[in-house]
Amino acid sequence: TSSGIEPIFALSFVRNVMGTQLLEVNPVFEKIVKERGFYSTDLLIEISKTGSIKNIPKIPEDIKRVFVTSLGIAPEWHVRMQAAFQKYVDNAVAKTVNLPANATLEDVRKIYVMAYKLKCKGITVYRYGSKTKQVLVIAGLRKDQEEGIVADSEFSGDCITGECPLGGV
């Protein structure tokens, strides 16, 4: 699962917590690969290097079609998803269009024009690597990063264990 209408950013990544690296996996993906019998720590480490399973031959095609990550979705479809939700919501819908590092100004312009034409009340565009520090970093997209996708503990709202109380809920 992901937050709201956002697609999953990475199926597996490493979280830095208090000087320790913890391997994290999307729970739905983990459940399915265990059920299908090809779960392994080595596989999760391999996935954490790109966050995606797109180019991993041992993963069945039906699984690849279901578990597409945000950078694997064409920008047009990010906007179309937002527009579909926006149609039935009075307030603006929060949705980020994730772009690769080589995205151009023209790519961004097309996204804004499409969002306007589809009556989105707002649109957020994030070009991977456009900030010097990111919450999630993909090793395959940065030459100076070898250990895979890395997230700081604040990625989960400073909930270090991932199992934080919901205030009596």
| pTM listed for this prediction | 0.69
Q: In the structure, what pLDDT confidence band is assigned to residue 145 with cuts at 50, 70 and 90?
A: very low
Higher pLDDT, 53 or 21: 53
* Residue 8 DSSP code: P
Q: Which amino acid is at 124?
A: T
Output 104-113 pairs: Cβ under 8 A, ≥24 positions apart: 107/75, 110/75, 111/75, 111/78, 111/79
Report the 10 Å Cβ neighbour count for 69: 21
* Dist CA 79 CA 108 (whole Å): 12
Looking at residue 146, its pLDDT comes to: 45
**Higher local confidence (pLDDT), 136 or 24:** 24
- Tell me the angle at which helices 105-117 and 75-86 cross, rounded to the nearest 10 degrees: 20
Higher pLDDT, 136 or 68: 68
Higher pLDDT, 17 or 34: 34
| pLDDT tens digits, 22-77 | 778 899 999 999 999 999 988 988 888 888 899 999 999 999 999 999 888 999 99
Long-range contacts of range 133-138, CB-CB < 8 Å, 24 or more positions apart? 136/9, 136/10, 136/13, 136/51, 138/10, 138/49, 138/50, 138/51, 138/71
The candidate with the shortest Cα–Cα distance to 100, out of 146, 144, 51, is 51
